[in-house]
Structure 1
């Protein structure tokens, strides 16, 4: 299930992006978690991922264990420490389970490193080559918001299950997938006054363009507000919305996240499907919990978004949200947090032409999040 390593010449659709890297897509997302074995079982059972590769004591790794899961083009790496002390324990102690590495698939990891560090990126690690019988992979990495790292991955000369040091994970338990295809976007939450700093980082250091901007008038309820700007690379394969809190009567979801995560980090991973009703239905059957949207949201849905292919009654049954832009419409739904801390969650999204992010759903979504915050006593 290794990613196609053919070098791509992807069409540039966002002309404002400088695109000096360039980026082919998301290679993997690595989460540091308290118990990788059990987390892997959760993502297989509930989200329909399948086991691909493993590293740990049996492969000669003494300080950590990692399970690699894949569905469509989405690859998750779940890593836990094998002893006390060290970076992984410190990360989990501070943040709980959360995203550490957002790895980006590139043609040249050395060039990507040089391009970004020469523009001011802080080094996470220098370019290095990893080799085994299946070939070699070149990696390099830079630091971003909080303790989040972007790893540049050139696997054009590798044909193994994941990376050197990993072996194929042979598991008799490979549940069927739920129709998830690829990472659509990943959202970062940053602290007060930090959004523009990181928007500038992605523009200057990585050659991204600003796709859209939302202020507290766009994203607010009676009680809370936030601001967001969406950064994209030229081919649109990598989109990073950056959120920061805005003044409101009560504590916003961004503030709650920063409090419990102890700083900036990845708030949610949006994963795409071609059939959101089928995907969400399967995930619910497997125990995934989603945010609740009141029935009244659907009373005037067609007046707001126009004609759609889906049956509104079925969307109402599953709580799926709909929004339209100039290119088409999208359907989306958000899980509740996937760990005990109210931090990381997932978005399920189906795009039917729309390039936007559901602006028309913000109020309903954030009121739903506020109900969850109130139940936690953190609103």
Structure 2
């Protein structure tokens, strides 16, 4: 059993694709024939290249339009097959993917006869034919039809190939594939999709996501086939010409992460099944944010701490040997790092003042790092000074750092060990901010699925459907993910174009970054009063928003007046309510948010995003500068 990926999944020339595939950890590859026709070398040269990279070629694809023809068209189809079988052997493989023909032939006897002749030809070459039904084929459009033909041909060189997208995207349940015998199943391709799509014949290139990025029951699909006795390659076959694509190395790493995570999920649900994957610790349950760390210089650090002061945070501790401060309120720890060397300083040079690090509370920090590394995430380390803790950490997608804090060791005492209390010069009453409600990371749209896979494969997190948020200058795609009890909530915001507020935040940065942090309060109106007294610079919301809000929800005049006076946004759903206040942006687009959730509100105020973005764009544009 091998882990495989199709060369169609990776952009670039064939040599670069294969290097990325091998580097990501795959052991075999599906070769898309157009990649070979563009290769400047012989089949023997390619066979050597594949072997030198430690890969095997499990299949050549695709061969179309073999069966169901008459006369010269039939002769031509079988001549093509003969040449293709020769090529398979020259490349060092023993399998050819045969797609159901587009010929409009309903004579099952002829179709079976053609396929039987093809199987005999393949047997003479020592090649197996893996036959896949195609929803847009002339006649064989379903797995059931294809399996019936496999039975009729009854040749050990002729078997079935399945693609999970074709099998499940129309709403078919994995259990309906239980009748397929494992020894007649030659090849399995794994491809996800957003949801059951009904008739998928016209959508063959619009969807096709990595496992975990969509909503198909791929775990059930794999489980049913493995229990039926399938022992061939599990292959990523992602063909999606309409989604943005990051670099080849990133896509190969994403594919490996997605495949291993999927197979690991199956084995945890059914220990009787085993796959040739690394032995992974379970996905990590995070119980909350331990800290958020900002990289800054002296000037931007003061701008940040001035804003934290208006939010009623207090600087409670200072690092024993570094220019690092701990600002705290409730269960929220904000670290401000103005060191002139080290990782935080490098992050400042690359990104400007920004969030450079976050700490997550976990049960076992070492096991968390072990799982992340087994899935391809690089470990992070830097020199540890005298008296400092070596806190386990990894680099996330985009180069950010995530540290892990547990209670098995002294890690949870980091604030006592590495920091000294600061004498209080005056009392600062808190504003009622209790904990971090959620954190939003902004990235280019083509990076968004990589971030999603990183989180859901490492941590116990569930994803919500993507929401398209209207920005005054475009669209931002928002993907919410959260831990089972909501202790860790993240919004991944994918920016398209260059003129949206999210895109402007990325303009001078290298990679994704945290664009806002939301704090939770139990009484936002009381918090608002405290923030007013402390001089908190809140975002001005258009008066038109409140007129529309009152009409939409039929709110009482008194409540609308309170919301308007506080520049507070509001949402309601199924008897639950949500309140939001935003700070004015700093650092070219970073901002804080204060929220209250009533009666279990589970969203993020998506209907308010347009009003908030318009206000932020207005604030970012200097007075007197026209909109271009």
TM-score bracket, normalised by the shorter chain, equals: 0.7 to 0.9
TM-score (norm 2): 0.51
1:374 corresponds to 2:627: no
Measured in 2, the distance between the counterparts of 1:202 and 1:349 equals 24
- SS at 2:284's partner residue? coil
Instruction: Check whether the contact 1:130–1:164 (CA below 8 A) recurs between aligned residues.
Output: no
Task: Give yes or no for contact 2:397–2:450 (8 Å, CA) kept in 1.
Answer: no
Superposed CA deviations along residues 294-318 of structure 1, whole A, max 9, x for unmatched, are 1121124244235589722111111
Question: CA 1:317–1:307 in 2, change beyond 3 Å: closer, same or farther?
Answer: closer
2:493 is equivalent to residue 240 of structure 1: no
Which residue, out of 71, 90, 103, partners 2:329? 71
Provide the rounded CA distance (Å) in 2 between the counterparts of 1:40 and 1:223: 28
- Which of 456, 462, 470 is the aligned partner of 1:220? 470
2:595 to 345, 349, 369: 349
State whether residues 74 and 181 of structure 1, in contact with CA within 8 Å, keep that contact through their aligned partners in structure 2.
Answer: yes
Report the equivalent of 1:254: 502
* Gapped regions of structure 2 (runs ≥ 5): 1-218, 220-260, 266-281
Q: How does 1:16-55 map to 2 (within 5 A)?
A: 20-35=283-298, 38=302, 41-43=305-307, 45-55=309-319
The Cα offsets for residues 144-202 of structure 1, whole Å up to 9 and x where unpaired, read as 23332111011455485715222222222341111111000100011131111211221
The answer to whether the 8 A contact 2:364-2:406 is kept is: yes
**Helix, strand or coil for the counterpart of 2:535?**
coil
What do residues 99-120 of structure 1 show as CA deviations (whole Å, max 9, x unaligned)? 1111001121111111222122
Query: How many residues are paired up?
Result: 345
8 Å CA contact retained: 1:27, 1:104: yes
Match 2:354 to one of 73, 98, 121: 98
Corresponding residue SS for 2:484? coil
Aligned to 2:403: 151
Aligned to 2:397, what secondary structure does the other structure show?
Answer: coil
1:63-98 CA deviation, whole Å, 9 max, x = no partner? x311112111111111111x4x54333322332221
Alignment correspondent of 1:10: none
- Aligned match of 1:194 in 420, 442, 447? 447
1:118 aligned partner = 374
Aligned to 1:11: none
Quote the Cα distance in structure 1 between the aligned partners of 2:558 and 2:442: 32
Alignment CA distance shift 1:91-1:308 (3 Å)? farther
With 110-119 and 367-376 compared, the bigger mean Cα shift is at 367-376
Q: 1:194 to 1:42 in 2, by over 3 A?
A: same
1:290–1:334: 8 Å Cα contact kept in structure 2?
yes
SS at match of 2:610: helix
CA–CA distance in 2 between the matches of 1:155 and 1:327?
Answer: 38
Which structure is higher in RCO with an 8 Å CA cutoff and minimum separation 6? 1
Seen in structure 2, the aligned counterparts of structure 1 residues 44 and 193 have a Cα distance that, compared at 3 Å, is closer
Taking a change above 3 Å as real, the CA distance of residues 65 and 30 of structure 1, as seen in their structure-2 partners, is same
RMSD: 3.0
2:608 alignment partner in structure 1: 361
Q: Deviations over 1:208-242 (max 9, x none)?
A: 22034212xxx114532211101112221111111
Q: What is the Cα deviation at residue 374 of structure 1?
A: 3.1
2:471–2:500 contact (8 Å) kept in structure 1? no
What is the CA–CA distance in structure 2 between the aligned matches of 1:314 and 1:71, rounded to whole Å? 25
Preserved contact between residue 441 and residue 515 of structure 2 (Cα < 8 Å)? yes
Within 2, Cα distance between the matches of 1:129 and 1:34?
A: 21
Query: Is the CA contact 1:120–1:205 (under 8 Å) kept in the aligned structure 2?
Result: no
